[in-house]
Structures are given as structure tokens and as C-alpha cells.
Structure 1
Amino acid sequence: MSEPVRLPFQQPGPMQPAPRLRRLQAQGPIHAIRTAVGDPAWLVTGYEQVRALLDDDRLGRAHREPDRASRTGESALFGGPLGDFDTEQADHRRMRSLLQPHFSPKRMRALRGRVETLAANLLDEMAAAGPPADLHAALALPLPIAVICELLGVPFEDRAQFRAWTQAAADITDRARSEQGLAELFSYGQQLVARKRAAGEVDADVISRLAATDGVSDDDAAAMGMTLLFAGHETTVTVIGNGALWLLTTPGQWAALVDDPSRIDAAVEEILRAPGLGGSGIPRYARIDLVIAGVHVREGDLVLLDTGAANHDVAVFADPDRFDLDRPPAPHLTFGHGARYCIGAPLARIELQAVFSQLVARFPTLKLGCAVEELTFNPNVLTGGLTALPVTW
């Protein structure tokens, strides 16, 4: 038997899928692989299997023997097991029940106007400065940070600090740096909660409301707040940049959205689905022995649920590697599924709708300011993403 393939898969270019991954997908929905640090794992790439397993209690983030568990990398957040094996499911239900009300449809609807205003202000500044511009620095980075700061009650002027800590925490190659970044972020959260308590803030923002909730300690409020701070901007920064890149470089797609702005919802869903070409996965550990698509998976095994590959499963998405605003609607798995579905999904959609509806209206002649081959991405952090996106108009 040949040695299992080792992650990461080699891509011919940043917008091209890894040929080896697509060959594996054609062979079946689950594959024995080695992670980037050489540990054994299973990579699940089939849409049907990934969707079902995302909501399967037989998989979890905790491990009975965490020191012996396979790791995906050196990130303190996602490199290895998290949580207490015996209480993981109850802990997760409690956390979701505490956070869900702060992301209710009513609260998100109330936030939409503010998100649109923040986006408009950033585009005003970009227009005033004139072409060329770096869309990453002008819009993709500052908007999600501004939005999550307002929602959580984090001072916007602290953004350089916490951005540095979240980038360090997301490092998948340097565990000491990742652990230090996470510790700095948590310490900052503790100080923020203490300041809000001292100021008597109760209903001003999410962190204040969490701190005022019965049964929630200050450390719990700090941990949940900083988790939201991290998750609430890192991924959206990446999606805005990648979405703009795919719209601008796929023939006809930018013009199609300019000509018919009512297609914004379809554009957002394709931006969420298509750029994540697959080749990694959401880490889970088997809590018991189980069978996945005929393959026996043992208790404790690392199972990577590759939502990106699932979003490019030819059984669900015709010509899946094509970026296409005319694609018939089908539910992608970018936000997960079931009990662990991302609670921030409505906020992310609001931000993407605000960004791209205004961008095409304000800059209909927008185009990429360099060759695709000149663009650089950050391969050392969880979310990857562009380091810059030069544009002109």
C-alpha cells in the first residue's frame, strides 16, 4: 500500500484546485492522509458525508488522551484537541445558548444599517484617495474589524494590538507564538471585562451583556468575547478579499453584478462557496469507533471535515471549480451544519452584501491592479488570505 498523501496539497496557483485532491475526491469520499506535522488522520471530502458528520455527536473537538492525539499543525486554537472530553457536548450547548441571543435576527437587522454606513465611509476614503488602491487595506481588513468592535464593545483604537494577537494565535507553524498570542488576547479580554464592570456598563454591547449574565464568570465573558473577536473578523477579512479577486478575474462575473445588482445574494453565496477550494478541514476526533462511507474509523482518530472540498463535490455542484453567479442555489457548507452551524453567519452575510453591493455601484470599472501571479497570500495562518489586493478603476 502506498504511503498516505501528506498535507498540504500542492496547488498550481492560488485560484486553482490541487490536482491530487481532485483525484482523491474522484476515488471516494474519505481518505487516509498525514497532516502537515506528519500525524495520521482521515480527510473527508464528500458533500453528503461532511454534511452529516458536522452534526454527528460521535465526533468532537476534545480527546480522551489529548497528549497522544494527532495534530493538524501548531496552532493553539485548531492544531489539536480542545475542551474536556467528558463535558464537551454540555459545554458547547451552554456556550451556544449564551451567545445565540446576541446574534438573533432582530439584532442583526438592527445592525445592517450601521454596517452599510461603515462600508460607505471606507469607500468614500478610497474614492477620495483615488486610484490605485489596496482593497485589502482600504476595505477588506478595516470593515470586519470595525463591525466586530462595535458589536462586542471593543475599542476600535486597540485594533492594531488585537489584530497582532489574533494573527499570532492563528499561526499554524509556531506553537509558542500561537499560545502567546492567545494568552495576550485572553488577558486583554479580562481587562476589558473589568473596565466594563467598573464603568457599570450592562446593556451597551455583547461583552457587557455577557458579563452581566447570571452564572457567567468574568473569565467566561472574556473567553467568549475574545473568541468572537477572533472568529468575527479573521474569516470575513479573507472572504472579502478572495471574493473580490474571484469576481474581478473570472470573465464576465464583475460585469454581470454591475449590470444587475439584484444578483447580490447569489454573488455572496458563490463568494462563500467557490474560493475555498479544499485541501484542509475542520478537525474532529472520533469519540467512539464508527464507519464512514465503508471505512472503519477508530476512537481517538483525527477526522478532518473538508468543507471546501465538499463545496466542490461534483455530485452536488455542476462544474464545481467554476466561479459562476448563475449557479443554481444549493446549500454550501462554509458555515458548517447542524448543532455547530456558525452563529455569526447572518452577520457575515450582511457584511458581504454591504461590501459588494456598494463596491459595484461606486466602482463599476474596478479591475485588478496587477497580475494574479504577483499576489501574495499568508500561508502561515489558519484563514490564509491575501496580504494585499491592488486595484484600479
Structure 2
Amino acid sequence: MQNSTPAAACPVTGARGSGISRVTTPTGDAAWLASGYALVRELFNDPRLGRAHRTPETAPRLGQAAFSGGPIGNYDTELADHARMRSLLSPHFSAKRMRELRPRVEQLTSDLLDAMTEQGSPADLQAALALPLPLLVICELLGVPYGERQQFRDWVDAVGHVRDREKVERGVAELYAYCLRLVRNKRANPGDDVVSRLCAVEGVTDDEIAMHSMVLLFAGHETSAVQIGVGVLMLLQNEGQWQLLHENPELIATAVEELLRACEASSIPRYAREDLDVEGVRISEGDLVLLGIASANHDPRVFSDPERVDITRQESAHFLFGYGTRYCLGAPLARIELQVAIGQLVRRFPELSLAVDRESLTERSDIFTGGLHTLPVRW
């Protein structure tokens, strides 16, 4: 059975082919779409492509969302800024630190599922688990009061909006101001959290920490919240996969990788820092190049029967978290959250099923990360 996962909000997901082709983005801008596993992997680490643009105000865009729609960062210092960001944040999101966090994620998941069980069947899995779990975890990691989650959740939704530029800019300003207040509070009252530890690093400014905190608040829970819901839906909608995982819980890590591979990921924007040739096509400095993650993760030359969800799949790594120097720092955390959440669900609810018709489920088409509004389930 083919997967039935919601696509990410941006419709430029890429054809199931390879090569480079001219496309038009949802904003009406011209772009180059790179498709296929080998080409996308090559371009991820190409130093001639970056996230910044020499004239960001006139740069072509993929959408209006703050972190995925257009240029990010200072064109002249992009590489140095990226290296500094990774050096500051990597120690706090290392695989070792994330493994140490796993028991806490397991406890939070258990508590949320206890509450869902007490509430009774049916329940909205998105509201009961997929959204609150990553929020609880990132709040604890950054030292953000969980009681303030609804306020910054609203800002996060605004920041990720794909069409309303004014809403995005307002969300960015308000979320940044909140993070700046958080940093100043941590300097005065440090705790055992990432923001407090960044404040203790010599030479790191409040503005710098606030910017990193804003990105972490957004990216640190949004991907997991989307993928828990989408992953459960794929398992339920692909015949035998839920039961297979229930009977073989040791497959959870492999299953999570397959669910991440199979989802319809949005393309990732890059900008040409100089003129370059890609597979015989001339790309000019400043052009928008989209890395087609969906096509790469479904390339039949790399993944056999790529449209099929197979939790026993042992083939090459997917690109949902990026690649090489652009690999997502939060990947170890997202993997743990997905493994724990889906693993406990399968163990505790072997008869879980959709409580509504698949056709009635609606997707968040206005947010660039996509995902489901609700996921009603019964057991």
C-alpha cells in the first residue's frame, strides 16, 4: 500500500526524478529545483550555495515563512557565523546529552499517554501527545516556563506562515523580544538549562543567545510535533505496519527512519553565491536553488519501491535532517522523541486505529512545516 502522508505546506516538493529543472515558487519567483539522491547530496555541501543573499530584499523566495521562505543571515559572514553557531550549540545537543535525556522523554510520554487513557477513547492524538511532548521537552531544555507555551506557540505559528509576510514579521519581532527577556532573566537567575549555559560562555551577547533561542524554540519542537502525528498516520494507513511494529518493538529505530524518509518533505532553499554549472545547466549568482528532499528520499535508484512504507527497510540514509555541514543539530533529539512516542503508543495501544475517515483529516497548509490539525484515534 502506498503511503498517505500529508505533504509539507510548500507545494514545491520535487518530481520523482533527477537532475535540475526550472520551476516557479508559490511566491511567483523563478528557481532551480534539484532532484534525485546523488545531486541533492552533492549540493548540500557545495560551498557555492548558501542561505544568505547579497541583496535579501530582492531575493527570490520559496514562501514568506521566516526560516524557510527566503534568505537567512549575513552574506559576507555566513560561513563564519554558521561555524560559530554550531560550535556554540553542538555540545548541548550531542548524541550523548540526548541519550541522557531519554529517560525524561520516556516519563513525559508515559504521563501524557496516561492522561489520554484516562480521558478515554476516542482522543485527538495531536493534542494529547504529538504537540505537548516536544513542547515539554524543549521548554525544559531551554528553561522556558511551560505555562507560557500557548503564547510562544502562537508566535511560532506566525513565524512559520507561508503567505502572510506581515504576520511573519510581527511573529518574529514578538518571539525575539520574548527570547531576549528570557536571556536577561537567565543572566540574573541562571538554571540548569541551555540558555543559562550559553549565558555563561564568554563573549556571547544577549542578542546572539536570543536569536539562537528563537530558532531552537521553533525548530526544537515543530518538526517532532508534525512527524509524530504524520508517522502514526502512515503506520495506521499502510497495511500491517502497526501490527508488525507491535510484534517487533526492536524495529522502532528503523521504523522511525523509514517514516522520516517516506514523508513528503518540502524543498530546502539555497542561493548561488557565484555563477556555477550544475549538470550542464548554468545557474547565475543570486539564483534560488531548491534541494528536492522529497525526490531524493524517494529515488528508486537508491530506495527499492520507494513509495511503499516498509519499517524493515535497511537502505541508505534520508535527507530530512539535511546532510554534511548542514546536518540538523536537533536530529538526535527528534529521533528520541519519535522513537519514544511511537514506541510507547504501539506497545500500549496495539489496536489503535483512526476514529474518522482519512479524507476528513485536514492539513496545516498555511505553515511551512505542514502536518495535521488533528488526529482522532480510537483503541
Task: Name the counterpart of 2:335.
Answer: 349
Q: Does 1:31 align with 2:21?
A: yes
Cα distance in 2 for residues equivalent to 1:226 and 1:81 = 17
The amino acid that maps onto 2:142 is L
Task: Name the counterpart of 1:6.
Answer: none
Structure 2 SS opposite 1:346:
helix
Candidates 162, 166, 187, aligned match of 1:172: 162
Task: Name the counterpart of 1:371.
Answer: 357
The amino acid that maps onto 1:213 is V
Contact 1:36 1:72 in 2 (8 A): yes
Task: Name the counterpart of 2:210.
Answer: 222
The amino acid that maps onto 2:88 is L
The amino acid that maps onto 2:200 is A
Q: Does 1:107 align with 2:97?
A: yes
Cα distance in 1 for residues equivalent to 2:119 and 2:201 = 45
Judged with a 3 Å threshold, the aligned counterparts in structure 2 of structure 1 residues 16 and 141 are, in CA distance, closer, same or farther, namely closer
Judged with a 3 Å threshold, the aligned counterparts in structure 2 of structure 1 residues 283 and 360 are, in CA distance, closer, same or farther, namely same
- Per-residue deviation, residues 14-71 of structure 1 (Å, max 9, x unmatched): 5589xx9899444x42110000011100011111011111111110011112222111
Q: Does 1:145 align with 2:131?
A: no
Cα distance in 1 for residues equivalent to 2:12 and 2:71 = 25
Task: Name the counterpart of 2:255.
Answer: 267
The amino acid that maps onto 1:240 is I
Candidates 284, 292, 305, aligned match of 1:298: 284
Q: Does 1:384 align with 2:374?
A: no
Q: Does 1:206 align with 2:210?
A: no
Candidates 26, 45, 51, aligned match of 1:55: 45
Shift of 1:266: 1.1
* Structure 2 counterparts to residues 51-90 of structure 1, below 5 A: 51-90=41-80
Candidates 152, 155, 162, aligned match of 1:162: 152
Judged with a 3 Å threshold, the aligned counterparts in structure 2 of structure 1 residues 106 and 78 are, in CA distance, closer, same or farther, namely same
Shift of 1:105: 2.4
Q: Does 1:323 align with 2:313?
A: no
The amino acid that maps onto 2:75 is F
TM-score using structure 2 length: 0.95
Structure 1 SS opposite 2:228:
helix
Structure 2 SS opposite 1:313:
coil
Shift of 1:296: 1.4
Contact 2:22 2:30 in 1 (8 A): yes
- Per-residue deviation, residues 161-183 of structure 1 (Å, max 9, x unmatched): 00000000000100000011111
Per mean C-alpha deviation after superposition, the further-off stretch among 235-244 and 28-37 is 28-37
Cα distance in 2 for residues equivalent to 1:181 and 1:295 = 38
Cα distance in 1 for residues equivalent to 2:123 and 2:16 = 39
Task: Name the counterpart of 1:186.
Answer: 176
Which runs of 4 or more aligned residues in structure 1 lie more than 3 Å from their structure 2 counterparts after TM superposition? 12-17, 20-26
Candidates 302, 305, 312, aligned match of 2:298: 312
Structure 2 SS opposite 1:360:
helix
Judged with a 3 Å threshold, the aligned counterparts in structure 2 of structure 1 residues 72 and 321 are, in CA distance, closer, same or farther, namely same
Contact 2:6 2:363 in 1 (8 A): no
Task: Name the counterpart of 1:245.
Answer: 233
Contact 1:24 1:31 in 2 (8 A): no
Cα distance in 2 for residues equivalent to 1:262 and 1:373 = 32
Structure 1 SS opposite 2:373:
coil
Shift of 1:326: 2.3
Cα distance in 1 for residues equivalent to 2:123 and 2:14 = 39
Cα distance in 2 for residues equivalent to 1:22 and 1:147 = 30
Contact 1:151 1:206 in 2 (8 A): yes
Task: Name the counterpart of 1:286.
Answer: 272
Task: Name the counterpart of 1:333.
Answer: 319
Structure 2 SS opposite 1:284:
strand
Shift of 1:267: 0.7
Candidates 98, 105, 110, aligned match of 1:120: 110
Cα distance in 2 for residues equivalent to 1:14 and 1:33 = 24
Judged with a 3 Å threshold, the aligned counterparts in structure 2 of structure 1 residues 344 and 15 are, in CA distance, closer, same or farther, namely closer
- Per-residue deviation, residues 147-202 of structure 1 (Å, max 9, x unmatched): 00111111111100000000000001000000111111100001111111122x1x
Shift of 1:76: 2.8
Cα distance in 2 for residues equivalent to 1:164 and 1:41 = 31
Cα distance in 2 for residues equivalent to 1:69 and 1:212 = 37
Structure 1: runs of 5+ lacking an equivalent: 1-11
Candidates 355, 359, 367, aligned match of 2:345: 359
TM-score using structure 1 length: 0.92
Structure 1 SS opposite 2:116:
helix
Cα distance in 2 for residues equivalent to 1:15 and 1:138 = 19
Task: Tell me the matched-pair count.
Answer: 375
Contact 2:53 2:271 in 1 (8 A): yes
